[in-house]
Each structure stands twice: as C-alpha cells, then as structure tokens.
Structure 1
C-alpha cells in the first residue's frame, strides 16, 4: 500500500472516531505491521502537523482538533481509481465532441493526480480496455443538456433490430454508461412508458422548451434496473445457472445483478440465480462460458441456450459427418 494511503486511512480513522483509537485498531485499519503503523503515526504528526495526542485512559490516539484536515489533496485507492477512470473515460470522446466543455474538467483531474505524484505518463500506465465500445454519436451534448436541464427531447431513433426510424418525444431521466457504451433512460410519451435508448442509434435530437416529466428514482430502478441487462424491464423470471468447479471461483466473485443469489454445491460447482425479463443479453453472456455452465431453469431459457449451441456446433461439423 502506498504511504499516502496509509496516511489517508489513519486520518479518516481519527476524524470519525468518538473515542481514542487503540494501536491495534490502527494496525488493522492500515493493514500493516507494528513498525509501519508507528512510522505513519510519527509522519502524520511530525511532518504533516496533525494534532495527534496519545491518551492513557483509555490508551490510544485521537485528534485534539476535530476540524483538522490533511494539507493538499489526499485520496484513497478507490478515489484514485475513480479519478483515473473518469480521466480515461473523458478521453474516449471523439475529437470535437464537448472539447470546450470538458477541457477544464480534464485539466482539473490532471492537477489533482499531479498532486499525488501521478504524472500524465504514470496515469497512463493504468489501462481501461474497452470491449465492443461504440461512439456515443453526434447528439451526446444535446441529450446531456436535456437530462441536466430537465427538458423534453424530440428524437429520431433507429431500431437496431430492423433499421426502422421512428420519431418520438421523450422526457430524459438519466444517462447510463454500461459496458463501455452510452444509453438514455427516458419516459417515452408515444409509448406512455419508460424506455432505454442507445445513444449511437439516435439519428436526430432537438431540445424542446417543455419541462421533462420526472420519474421517481426508485421507480426507474424498479422498472429499468430490476432484471438482467441494459434493456431490462421488471423481472418476469429467474435464471438458475450452474457453473462447473473449474469456473465457479471466478463467477462467485462476480456481480451479475444486485439481486442475484449464489449457492455453493457439495461437488464444488456454483449455482447462480439472476432475475431477468428479456433473455437476449443473458443468453450471450451464458454462451461465453461454453461447457462450463448449465442452465438449470427455467426450461424455456435452457431450451433457447441449447438451441443456440446446437446451431453453433453445426457450423463446425464436416459435411456428411
């Protein structure tokens, strides 16, 4: 662990503690040895000037000034990861798209990272590999403005399944970055319901003066995030997937859905239950595991996966075999 992370953790521990913190708890929080914990305490007190006092009854450490803050910028590993992720995410927009608006944000993130000893070159050593990412399209700025200004949009939308273009008036709710692609959750006034639109399929976008209809966050999560995948809808079934022991440990550490349930079986396999509505995306993810996963339920999903596998195998059979 980097020294600034040790300092950050110690600072947060002493800031939030109501009573003096025992040395053993300092070691546990910093996840370090006794010698390292003593060095961090001494550095924070003597070099950074933190008002750390050693108490005798009860024995421990505390701040004598509750308003004290560390000088400069200090971040946990999770916060640094978020900054680096945001920095690289901003870099994925095609040249010209929001350049002027995003330039100050990029500069500010660079400044914060530099304060932690991370130059632009060093930050680039953390790679975010994007798989099957699509450009967000030329209407990202208009859509984002509608979301933030809470105004209606008129869009021309091309359905990817059949290439038909429809015109809709929508009340945008939130932008979603999912699996390296951008989507818009919105209330569609034509369909009179919530829908999710892929930004790269929006062929035209006009910002309207009408105020957007606001949908409660809990309703959005229930209707659009209740089941598996981006084009989800309220769940209507639960997929039960059994992963072979060779793959079980990896899958057990993954989150397929916030409401998933997992059970280890006596033979070392792992059974994962995931709520879903549309099975398109779920089937594609199941097929990634090939023979190391079996769909146990429901029967309609099991049959659909089996049929896909049979069609795939047929492509590799020799004629007449």
Structure 2
C-alpha cells in the first residue's frame, strides 16, 4: 500500500470510528510500521488540515465538531499518477515549440502548484525528466491557433498552402476534420471543397489561415478512419498493398516491440529473424522507415517496393563513389 492509499485508508478509518483508534490497530490495518503511521497522521493533519485529535497513548480520531466538514481534496494523486503528471508537464513545455506555451500557461501554473502541494513544499527535480524534440518543424502560431479553433468550433477554413512536392502555393478551402500530432509535427485532415475529397495538410506549410462563418461539413468517423488510417504513416488513402519486410536477428528484438500500423502482423522466423507485414497506400514514408535499418532489413514483397528501395540505395551509394 503506497502513501496515497494509506491516506485514503486513514481517512476512512477516522470517518467511521466513534472512538480513538490506537497506533497498533492502525499499523495492522494499514500494513506499515509505527513510524509510518505517525508520518501519515502528521501529513493528514498538517498538510491536508484534517481535524485529528489524540496522541500515541490514547489513539487518534477526528474531532467530532469538525469531522462532518472535512473531506480529502478533490484531486489527490497516487505516486504513479503524480509521476505521470510530471512527465506530462515536461511534455507540454516542449510540444510544438512556443505555439502552445501561451495557451497552456494557466494550466501549467496549476500543475506546478499541484506538484508543489503534493511534494509537501519541497521542490521536485523536474530537470530529471527530458523531452527531446526530433525533426519538429517550425509552424506559424497564428495559423496553428486558427486551424485548431476551426477544427473544434466546426467551421470552414481557408489558407494558403505551399506543397512540398511541387513548391507551389495554392489557396485551399476545407472543412477541418481532425488535427493530428504525428512524429513531432501537426497535420490537418480535412475535406477539400475544391477537390471534393479528403486531404491531409502539414500545418507548417500553411499561411494566411482564416476561419470562415460557414459550418464545416462533417465526414462520418468510419469514412475518416477508412481513408486516413488505412495506409501506413501520415499518407492517406486506402491501402494499395501489403509490404513484407524481413529484419535480421540483430534488429528483430527491437522491431518486434514496435508499433508500425494498427493492422500490422509480425512473427519470428526459425533463424531468429522477424517478418513484419504492414498495409500501405504510399511507399515514401514506409521506405524511409525501412531504410533507416540499413542492411538489417530487406523488403520481400511487393516487388515494386523492393525495386524502389534498390534504386534509392543505389543512388545513395553513388554519392560516396565520387572522390
């Protein structure tokens, strides 16, 4: 029983007891030492202002005059919950650069106060928790806020979008469906009214975003899942095939514990290697993830994806042939 559970147990014991409860009895009920009982009683009385009266000889109880008015704080965290909150606080401070910092400042201060109360006045070593950004792209704060507001308020949205594939800028008119944080970056899934189709947009490529007065068109959840979550990674569309990748025994132990896709299939082979099957609609992101394993991974099927990998590896090798 951790401290969180013991405090709740002490509170229940004192609330239900008409007479003082002795320390040996509390030791037995809480399953802890005499010193721990005294520490928990002191915490309950001094930090949480519980109306505890009595002493170690006669026992302890709640003062009958104040008992009915006292309750434990509404938010009282276990050690696991507290540590998860500390990690969440560190994560909030690094999510999206400075985009969310001002919006989350009030919540951040509330969390810091709660952590201080839970720590009994001492300082938690927050520097012991690190959140490292990886390949996060800088986004325009105004655009992000506008996109988020339109998504939550269910309003249509317009913005200038500079596509990475063509480097051309076009004005887009969409009904936002979902805002997704994926691999350190933000993406908007929306219904493109000009193209009459679902599209995914990288928020860092948006400028001049404007929330419109018209209500957004809502696409059924099943259709969104089918179109946006069917293939591998962030690229949308129904799966066009299933990739079979074989990882050698050296990398198998890592890959077997990784989540690549909601409908992935994996199995260990007799030689210790690992075979992974993932559906995909666009091979670009899948190839990037496979090639980072270098010679430890081999695409078995389909042949077209295998040939794309061979071409990319040949081009990469040619960069080192010069000089």
**TM interval, short-chain normalised:** 0.7 to 0.9
User: Structure 1 unaligned runs (5+)?
Assistant: 12-36, 50-67
Tell me if the contact between 2:90 and 2:130 (Cα under 8 Å) persists in the aligned partners.
Answer: no
CA distance change for structure 1 residues 189 and 71 in 2, over 3 Å: closer, same or farther?
closer
Tell me if the contact between 2:94 and 2:133 (Cα under 8 Å) persists in the aligned partners.
Answer: no
Q: Secondary structure at the match of 2:128?
A: coil
* 1:81 aligned residue (81, 84, 94): 84
Give the structure 1 partner of residue 109 of structure 2. 107
Aligned length: 272
Deviation track 1:263-294 (CA, whole Å, cap 9, x = no partner) reads 11000000000110001111111110000001
RMSD over aligned Cα atoms: 3.2
CA distance change for structure 1 residues 78 and 299 in 2, over 3 Å: closer, same or farther?
farther
Tell me if the contact between 1:133 and 1:181 (Cα under 8 Å) persists in the aligned partners.
Answer: yes
CA–CA distance in structure 1, aligned partners of residues 236 and 82 of structure 2: 30
* 2:203 aligned residue (199, 202, 208): 199
CA distance change for structure 1 residues 156 and 6 in 2, over 3 Å: closer, same or farther?
same
CA distance change for structure 1 residues 100 and 306 in 2, over 3 Å: closer, same or farther?
closer
- After TM superposition, the structure 1 = structure 2 runs for residues 167-206 of structure 1, keeping only pairs within 5 Å, are 167-206=171-210
CA–CA distance in structure 1, aligned partners of residues 87 and 188 of structure 2: 24
Tell me if the contact between 1:243 and 1:293 (Cα under 8 Å) persists in the aligned partners.
Answer: yes
Deviation track 1:234-271 (CA, whole Å, cap 9, x = no partner) reads 21111100000000010000000111000110000000
Give the structure 1 partner of residue 268 of structure 2. 264
Give the structure 2 partner of residue 39 of structure 1. 32
Give the structure 2 partner of residue 310 of structure 1. 314
Tell me if the contact between 1:113 and 1:119 (Cα under 8 Å) persists in the aligned partners.
Answer: no
- After TM superposition, the structure 1 = structure 2 runs for residues 201-280 of structure 1, keeping only pairs within 5 Å, are 201-280=205-284
Tell me if the contact between 1:158 and 1:202 (Cα under 8 Å) persists in the aligned partners.
Answer: yes
Q: Secondary structure at the match of 1:132?
A: coil
TM-score by length of 2: 0.74
Q: How big is the shift at 1:101?
A: 3.1
Give the structure 2 partner of residue 137 of structure 1. 140
> Which protein has the larger Cα radius of gyration, Structure 1 or Structure 2?
2
